[in-house]
């Protein structure tokens, strides 16, 4: 049995590090991997990244993460990445990593993602340069994620995002903001490359469980949605066998 712990939207500030240190204390016993689905900090300052790094250093299992939109707000994401890498966190953006767990090759491909919307309610590369640039960026991010997934030589493949790749896990959010919460292009890329599980955050009022058009399971692990410090996903071989809420 392989156990993967996942959570997004920690929104950690310098004043909440003790809370998260306690909340994540059991994770090294509960799981073999910890995946973080973006919005790791409140506004992406180096001080917040240092506070998060201090929280994560005691975790003894591999940690893989993507950034979220909050982590870009202070306009120094490269510094945030540098600080977290110094604490042993693997940050993915159109890239992938692999860990061998109990003889099983677990591959994770990650990207922040971006918005744009979903079929019948999406933007297109038409009109003003700003609109073309918006959708073109999402298309590039989706292509990078798809290439990273396709290149993974692994028995179990997980796509890790911040933005949502499907509408299912946005249910509960106002439909007017769906285009700012994710894009169908991400889901298309994942379906084309193939994966066993997709994890994302960002949609605080969304729904936990969904599926891509191609039948791949999608889970919204935003902390306000799962209501706990992390969610455990348990695999037997390459199949998702059970999902259990970890300790609060």
Mean pLDDT of 92-101: 97
pLDDT at 98 over 60: yes
- The answer to whether residues 216 and 197 touch, using CB atoms and an 8 Å cutoff, is yes
Q: What are the tens digits of pLDDT across the range 68-81?
A: 999 999 999 999 99
Length, in residues, of the chain: 248
pLDDT at 236: 80
Q: Mean pLDDT across the chain, nearest whole number? A: 95
pLDDT at 238 over 50: no
- The answer to whether residues 160 and 37 touch, using CB atoms and an 8 Å cutoff, is yes
Rg (CA), the chain: 17
3-state secondary structure of 230: coil
Mean pLDDT of 100-115: 96
pLDDT at 242: 52
Which residue carries 């994401």 as its tokens? Answer: 77
Give the whole-angstrom CA distance, residue 9 versus residue 20: 12
Q: What are the tens digits of pLDDT across the range 10-39?
A: 999 999 999 999 999 999 999 999 999 999
pLDDT at 172 over 90: yes
pLDDT at 159: 98
pLDDT at 243: 57
What structural domains and CATH numbers belong to the chain?
Answer: 2-245 (3.60.21.10)
pLDDT at 167: 98
Residue 88 C-alpha from the chain's centroid: 17
pLDDT at 211: 98
3-state secondary structure of 173: strand
- The answer to whether residues 138 and 181 touch, using CB atoms and an 8 Å cutoff, is no
pLDDT at 119 over 80: yes
pLDDT at 244: 53
Closest listed residue to residue 194, CA positions, set 103, 116, 96: 96
């Amino acid at each position: 049995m392989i156990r993967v712990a996942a959570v997004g939207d920690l929104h950690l500030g310098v004043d909440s590090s003790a809370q998260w240190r306690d909340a994540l204390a059991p994770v090294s016993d509960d799981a073999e991997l910890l995946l973080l689905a973006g919005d790791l900090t409140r506004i992406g300052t180096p001080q917040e990244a240092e506070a998060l790094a201090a929280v994560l250093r005691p975790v003894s299992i591999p940690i893989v993460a993507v950034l979220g939109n909050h982590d870009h707000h202070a306009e120094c994401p490269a510094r945030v990445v540098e600080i977290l890498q110094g604490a042993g966190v693997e940050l993915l953006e159109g890239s992938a990593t692999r860990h061998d767990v109990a003889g099983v090759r677990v591959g994770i491909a990650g990207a922040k993602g971006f918005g744009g919307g979903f079929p019948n309610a999406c933007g297109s590369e038409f009109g003003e340069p700003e609109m073309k640039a918006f959708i073109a960026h999402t298309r590039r991010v989706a292509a990078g994620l798809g290439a990273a997934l396709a290149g993974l030589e692994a028995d179990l493949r997980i796509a890790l995002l911040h933005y949502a790749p499907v509408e299912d896990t946005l249910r509960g959010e106002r439909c007017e903001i769906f285009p700012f919460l994710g894009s169908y292009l991400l889901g298309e890329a994942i379906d084309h490359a193939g994966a066993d599980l997709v994890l994302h955050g960002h949609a605080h009022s969304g729904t936990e469980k969904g599926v891509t058009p191609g039948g791949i399971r999608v889970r919204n692990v935003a902390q306000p949605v799962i209501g706990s410090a992390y969610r455990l996903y348990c695999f037997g071989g390459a199949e998702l066998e059970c999902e259990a809420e970890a300790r609060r």
